[in-house]
Amino acid sequence: MKSIEIIVPPVLAFIIGLFFLGLFRRIMARIHWRYGPPLIQPLIDVIKLFHQKSVQHGIMFNIGLIFSLAGSIVVVLFLPFGRICPLSESGGLLVILYIMLIAPLGLALSGGEGANPNISIGISRKFILSLGYEIPLLLILLSIMTHYKTISLMEIVKIQQNTSWALLSFPLFLPALAYLLILPAILGVRPFDVSSAPQEIASGTMVEYGGRYLALATIEHAFSLFIGISLFVNLFLGGSCNIVVFFIKMLVVFTIGVFINAVFPRLRIEQAIKYLWRLPVALAFIGLIIVSIL
Amino acid sequence: MLSPVLLIAIPLGFSFLAPLLKKGAKYIPPIAMLFNLILSILLVPQVMRKPIIVLLGGGWPPPFCINLVASPLGILLALLISLVGFLVSIYAIAYIKEGATEKYHTLYLLLLTGATGIVLTGDIFNLFVFFEILCISSYALVAYNGDKHGLESAVKYLIQGSIGSSFILIGIALLYGLFGTLNMADIANNISYHSLQSPTLYVALAFFITGFGVEGAIFPLNAWLPDAHSSAPSTISAILSGIAIKTGVYAIARVTYTLFSAKGFMIFIATIGIITLLIGEMSALGQKKDIKRMLAYSSIGQIGLIIFAFGIATYYGIFGALFQLVNHALAKSLLFLASGYMIYRVGSKELSAFEGLGKKMPLSSLVFTIGAFSLIGLPPFAGFMSKISIISAGIKANNTALFVFVIIVLFATIIEGCYFFRVVQNLYFKKSRDPAHNCVRDGCPTTQKSEMPISALIPIIILALLIVAIGIYPRLVTGIIESAAIGLMDKVGYIHQILGIF
Amino acid sequence: MILITILLIAFGGAFVTYLAGKISGKLRNILAVLVSLALVVLISLIYRREISREYYTLPFLNLKLILMSNPLSWFFAIIIAGIGLLSILYSLEYMKDKERLDYYYFTLLFINASMLGTVISGDLLSFFIFWEIMSWSTYLLISYKGGKAIAAGLKYIIMSIIGSLAMLLVIISLYSRYGTMEISAIASYMQTASIGYTLFILITSSLSFVIINAFWPLHTWLPDAHAEAVSPFSSVLSAVLVRKGIYGLYLFMYVILGLNILNKLHVGFISFSSVLCGIGAVTIVFAAFTALVQEDSKRILAWSTVGQGGYMLLGIVFATASGMTGGMFHVLNHCIYIALLFFVAGAIEHRTGGIRNINELGGLIKRMPVTFIAALVGISGLIGIPLTNGFVSKWLIYKTLILGNHPFLAFAAFVGTWGTVLYGYKFIHNIFLGQLPEKYKHIKEAPLLMQLPMILLTVTVILFGVLPGIPLRVISAIQRQVALPPLQTTLFGIPKEAGELNMINVLFAILISCFIVWLLFRRAAKSVPVQQDDSYAAGSYVPKEKYHYTVNFYNPLSKMITPYLRDVASLFYLNIARGTQRVCNIIRRVYVGEVGYYAMYIVLFLAFLIFIQMFF
């Protein structure tokens, strides 16, 4: 039973993540008045990529990427998924926050070994952007943890299921709103795709990847989509008792998150930071102040 | 027979011997001072039990004759004088080469005679006489180099010193007019038992403090000091700083504690001390060029600290003051002596010329550093022990003003650290800039070591070892300092011992 | 007797080593290693033994000098001895061709000895004496290299003197009040002291510890000193010496005053602890972002040292089981990884001929793989990636802050961590990744003797990250010593009752995930290694100069934050120093050089004295 619990979340996360990737391309296409690729196109791409030969630049180029994907998988194990949460007893939200660092750092190490200026610029932007959204995100997480007086995500979900969703409770709807505003930045999708901007820096971090590397990087992206959204569902929408409801909640959140900003053109990195550090930070900050006073 | 009289008689006698021996004159002072040193060490156990009183001039009982009092305080200072005098004279064997060397040695011994006399005598007029001996020989010695600066500062010193001396004389005259006696114990007895509140007494005290203050270098009477110290030969700077100004401080302490027991006045003494300390240290920090001048200013500061400690007017304060007095004498003479050959080697008193000297003169630099650290008050050197005693005395006195003063003392320590570390880093961490500039005399090779001659090295190493030894094992000196402090506090005992009344 | 033996070996060893250096360099090196090894062994021997013994009474203040050993001092002593040994080992190769080696080894051993002295002192006077010896000997070694190091050393010693004088004031004041300096006796007297007096003691003594620990706004000496010192000594400075501040704070706050009194010290919202918390939070954020814009490898590490101190402070200020444990554990962890990182920076300096500017480097992973792994693990520890030791302590600290309802402090700590991620990555990227400059094509891996300490520390970082129970057990003994509730621990983390952290689960999760991904990776179509310029330039000519993007790595961000990073504190002190100089120069002018004025001074002084006496 336990072994199934461990296997199920990553597999589902893989599927759902790739589905969201496909969905995202569809949505963007519709906004552009295009038809767009089929929903399973990302999966097809990944399978195809695994069979393509590629180039590499050294040992860290491989290891970094492996670490990155492994890190994402571990994060998934920490997130309650419906009722399933294999590692709920190993440190809670704080550990999640830190393990979430492994994925970007691994990618960055791998990319850095690539020695391509485009990659380095991409990484630099990615880190700056992540600093940009981490500041509101941390405030958001802190207000949740302070409000519920626990650092365990499982606990947070449980309390919400017993009372009401955090999104609907008084001070916490502010951080929830802030989370929605920064969601595209967390997911690294438009208009915050500065680190992998194809037209400016030739896809930035991805530029040296081909074949299996690109496949792994795509899977990693899929996982990070899943993580970003499922974190919101767990934090604000009370998680869920079964997987289907959980998925529906995720779908709703994803759609909203994408629609909020999708019509904007890509921001420059300074603009992105300015955006992230204004409204979302203000909302989250006010939320945290209210929470800590109450 | 071991008599304290010999402490005065030997240097005095030898000093007249010096001009007779033209070539060998330089060996006279070490021999004389070695005698003195041994003698005073031998006297210590005896004196610790009971002060020795020697009567001079006709054998009349005390108030009617001149007497010497070898109390623990006197013998402590005599010991210090002979020790520093001995070491400096060894140093001088190699250092004093040019000019009228035999005159130098004569005057040098006279100066020490005067100093020893001051600390041993029990008669105020006799004290004045010894004071004059000390002063006059030091005026001459300051000008020993014979250059423009030396003469100028000697004349300045002479003028100020004479004003001071005449003030002392006026003070003595006032007291003599009141009581008709010159014996210190007798005067003290008169003052306390007749409890006279006459304004004349106050005026006399003011004259004394001002007069001795000139020699004791309290602010603002110390203007002669930077000039004199910086233009005198280094041996003389060492003696002036280590011994001569200490006698002034001793005289002030003697006058205020024993003669007048001016308890209420002590806080002013402390204030004067603190001002002297601040002005001295700050001037030293401001003096970025001339190392000897910097050391001289630092001496002013240290004297301020000692006077402040005397001004605390408790047993602990006096203990701290005497302890600091000893440590400063050791450390400052060490610094002057060490810098003496450094200046000689680099041919300049400029601080910047000392850059990178740590490699060329490793031992001198090392002992210089030890002396500097001791003065800043860093453990495990002697200066730390005395500084901590003074600070603890200041806080123990439980007086807000004194507490503030203690904080100022701490502040002054920071300044001290600033300027001494500036020198230390010049010695060790800066590369010598211009080899040609660093070597103007003797054509010394720049890359090789050019340490001082061994006869100059030994005294400063002994001083450094003493500083470290006292720092690690303060019991070495604290015993005698404790009884000296008790002796200075105990006015009644002093009168009792000398006059034999009660 | 064992304590005095330790001290004798430590101090005597330093002198003997110096003298041995006059005979032969080899003998000196062997002696230095032996002395530091002996210290490690001796100190391990006294683990869990409480010793207290009087040795010496000062004649004039009747002060007893006492040496003692308890869990707190053992904890610090073993760190000091351990890092001391490693830095000596490292120095053997690193310092090989430098000058004045006798002096170097002597001072290094001497500093270690004095640091040991401070932690095994049982009374405040010996604590102070060793502290001062530590200060000046450190100065002597900071300035060792000359050049820029001179100013750094001077800055350090002046700030350090200010701190220790404040401490002296406290110590003497305690002595004059209670007539003793024994720590345990003072602790019992202080229970009845008035609030005002307690505050005076606490604030004044903290000044010294805040300076040595380089908390904002008294941090200004540290970046210079750490960057300019020789690398093995930088690691000692950063790992051990700076943390004596934490030791001192702990000593005064918990051992001498105790929790009951600390809780009483508040006026409304403001309490002593809250002020310290504020300082800690500002230190973390300010240091993290300043480190971000540095381009000098050792300066980055120096600023990180400043910042990490804030975490420790945030930990120990909250006297809860987890906070205290977190703070203390972070002291240990920081010491391990920062020593490692300074060794890494030193190894690179050593091989590249003293290059510290990270923008001139790159691609060294190919030439120095061991150093790279050490750097990677060290930086991971610094950031606090799970499975490294830094994670566990940070986790404890965050947990304390969040559950203790201090979300804003936690926020500062988190932001600091994100700053750390940025500069940590930059450190690795600019030095080890990317394009290898032409002139470093042929440099070699660090010598074996330099690798050895790095490997040891790397293993320890991981070991304590996976099995935090080992050090946590030692730390809980410290808690018991000051009657604070100890934290329950298991070998792999924290048990469920105390808040559940299980590193072994995380370890297995990561290992298994890595394995699965690796299998996937292996199964896929192969890849061919290509030259870097082949793919980037598509085979066309690429100029030999560096084309890799490293300079000003976070340019858009730096542009935004630099205006806020002006080191106001530093400028302020500079102005004070200048002002003092100016005042001193003016005061010197009192001595005008005109003898007429001098005569006037004398007469005026006389008049003044008479005047005063007439009226008082």
pLDDT of B327 reads: 92
Instruction: Please check the confidence at residue C316 and state whether its pLDDT lies above 80.
Output: yes
C510 and C571 fall within a common domain:
no
Query: Could you tell me which of A216, A177, A204 has the C-alpha nearest to residue A67?
Result: A216
Is the Cβ of A63 closer than 8 Å to some Cβ of chain C? no
Is the Cβ of A73 closer than 8 Å to some Cβ of chain C? yes
Which chain C residues contact residue A7 at CB under 8 A? none
- Chains touching chain B, criterion 3+ CB pairs below 8 Å: C
Is the Cβ of C304 closer than 8 Å to some Cβ of chain B? no
Reported as a single tens digit per residue, the pLDDT across C537-578 is: 666 776 667 677 777 788 888 888 888 888 788 888 888 888
Residue C434 domain-assigned? Answer: yes
Is the Cβ of B159 closer than 8 Å to some Cβ of chain C? yes
Query: What Cα–Cα distance (Å) separates residue B151 from each residue in B132, B139, B143, B230, C25?
Result: 19, 9, 5, 12, 52
How many structural domains comprise chain C? 2
Which chain B residues contact residue C149 at CB under 8 A? 429
CB atoms C146 and B429 under 8 Å: yes
Instruction: Please check the confidence at residue C59 and state whether its pLDDT lies above 80.
Output: no
ipTM computed for the complex: 0.90
Cis peptide before C485 (omega within 30 of 0): no
Chains B and C form CB pairs within 8 A to the count of: 168
Q: Out of A59, A89, A113, whose CB is closest to C500?
A: A89
CB atoms C590 and B279 under 8 Å: yes
pLDDT of C498 reads: 64
Helical packing angle, B124-142 and B245-253, nearest 10° = 160
Q: Out of C509, C527, C547, whose CB is closest to A56?
A: C527
Reported as a single tens digit per residue, the pLDDT across C501-544 is: 777 888 888 888 888 888 888 887 777 777 766 666 666 776 66
Is the Cβ of B478 closer than 8 Å to some Cβ of chain C? yes
Does C contact B via 3+ CB–CB distances below 8 Å? yes
Cα separation of B71 and B43, whole Å? 10
Contacts of A183 (CB under 8 A, 6+ apart): A228, A229, A232, A253, A257, A260
pLDDT of A261 reads: 65
Is the Cβ of C139 closer than 8 Å to some Cβ of chain B? yes
Q: Could you tell me which chain A residue has the CA closest to the CA of C425?
A: A105
Is the Cβ of C563 closer than 8 Å to some Cβ of chain A? no
Which chain C residues contact residue A69 at CB under 8 A? 513, 517
Tokens 């509101």 -> residue: A136
C456 and C578 fall within a common domain:
no
Percent of chain C predicted with pLDDT > 90: 8
Q: Nearest CA of chain C to the CA of A188: how many Å?
A: 18
| Mean pLDDT calculated for residue range C326-346 | 90
Q: Nearest CA of chain A to the CA of C253: how many Å?
A: 27
Q: Nearest CA of chain B to the CA of C374: how many Å?
A: 33
CB atoms C60 and B323 under 8 Å: yes
Q: Out of C139, C162, C587, whose CB is closest to B282?
A: C587
Percent of chain C predicted with pLDDT > 70: 96
Q: Nearest CA of chain A to the CA of C585: how many Å?
A: 49
pLDDT of B448 reads: 56
- Single pTM value for the model: 0.90
Give chain A's end-to-end CA distance (angstroms, integer): 42
Best mutation target, A2, A124, A156, to test chain C (most C CBs within 10 A)? A124
The β-bridge partners of C501 are C494
Q: Are A144 and A214 in contact (CB under 8 A)?
A: no
Which chain C residues contact residue A122 at CB under 8 A? none
| Mean pLDDT calculated for residue range A133-160 | 84
Which chain B residues contact residue C224 at CB under 8 A? none
Burial C543-567 (b: 16+ CB within 10 A, else e): eeebbbbbeebbebbeebeeeeeeb
Q: Are C294 and C300 in contact (CB under 8 A)?
A: yes
pLDDT of B434 reads: 54
User: In chain B, positions 448-477, which contact chain C (CB-CB < 8 Å)?
Assistant: 474-475
Cα separation of C574 and A269, whole Å? 36
Q: Could you tell me which chain C residue has the CA closest to the CA of B156?
A: C595
Is the Cβ of A130 closer than 8 Å to some Cβ of chain C? yes
Side-chain-side CA neighbours of residue C209 (13 Å): 27
Is C24 exposed, middle or buried, given 0-12, 13-18 or 19+ CB atoms closer than 10 A?
exposed
β-pairing verdict for A54-56 and C527-529: parallel
Q: Nearest CA of chain B to the CA of C124: how many Å?
A: 13
Cα separation of B303 and C19, whole Å? 38
Query: Which one-letter DSSP state was computed for residue C488?
Result: P
| Mean pLDDT calculated for residue range A50-60 | 82
pLDDT of B195 reads: 58
Query: Could you tell me which of C350, C283, C311, C416 has the C-alpha nearest to residue C91?
Result: C350
pLDDT band at A200 (very low <50, low <70, confident <90, very high): low
Percent of chain A predicted with pLDDT > 90: 0
Q: Out of A146, A210, A215, whose CB is closest to C405?
A: A146
Q: Out of C154, C168, C583, whose CB is closest to B282?
A: C583
Instruction: Please check the confidence at residue C355 and state whether its pLDDT lies above 90.
Output: no
Which chain C residues contact residue A10 at CB under 8 A? 513
Is the Cβ of B425 closer than 8 Å to some Cβ of chain C? yes
CB atoms B207 and C606 under 8 Å: yes
Q: Could you tell me which chain C residue has the CA closest to the CA of A64?
A: C514
Q: Within 10 A of B492 (CB to CB), how many other CB atoms are there?
A: 13
Is the Cβ of A269 closer than 8 Å to some Cβ of chain C? yes
Q: Delimit the domains of chain B by residue range.
A: 4-499
Q: Mean pLDDT of all residues in chain A?
A: 82
Q: Delimit the domains of chain A by residue range.
A: 2-293
CB atoms C590 and B283 under 8 Å: yes
Q: Are C174 and C127 in contact (CB under 8 A)?
A: no
Is the Cβ of C595 closer than 8 Å to some Cβ of chain B? yes
pLDDT of A1 reads: 64
Instruction: Please check the confidence at residue C311 and state whether its pLDDT lies above 70.
Output: yes
CB atoms B378 and C139 under 8 Å: no
Instruction: Please check the confidence at residue C407 and state whether its pLDDT lies above 50.
Output: yes
User: In chain B, positions 259-318, which contact chain C (CB-CB < 8 Å)?
Assistant: 264-265, 268, 279, 282-283, 285-287, 297
- Chains touching chain A, criterion 3+ CB pairs below 8 Å: C
Is the Cβ of A138 closer than 8 Å to some Cβ of chain C? yes
* pLDDT lower than 70: segments of chain B: 1, 56-63, 193-197, 432-449, 501-502
pLDDT of B440 reads: 47
Query: Could you tell me which of C322, C455, C338 has the C-alpha nearest to residue C392?
Result: C322
Q: Nearest CA of chain C to the CA of B261: how many Å?
A: 14
CB atoms C585 and B286 under 8 Å: yes
pLDDT of C341 reads: 92
Instruction: Please check the confidence at residue A238 and state whether its pLDDT lies above 90.
Output: no
Question: What sign results for the dihedral spanned by CA atoms A103, A108, A110, A111?
Answer: positive
CB atoms C150 and B430 under 8 Å: yes
CB atoms C140 and B417 under 8 Å: no
Q: Nearest CA of chain C to the CA of B414: how many Å?
A: 6
Q: Nearest CA of chain C to the CA of A190: how many Å?
A: 20
Tokens 């899943």 -> residue: A226
Q: Could you tell me which chain C residue has the CA closest to the CA of A127?
A: C422
Query: What Cα–Cα distance (Å) separates residue A235 from each residue in A144, A276, C115?
Result: 7, 20, 48
pLDDT of C485 reads: 78
Q: Within 10 A of A277 (CB to CB), how many other CB atoms are there?
A: 16
pLDDT of B443 reads: 46
Q: In the structure encoding, which two tokens stand for residue B412, read together?
A: 């002054």
* Domain enclosing residue C301, as ranges: 286-521
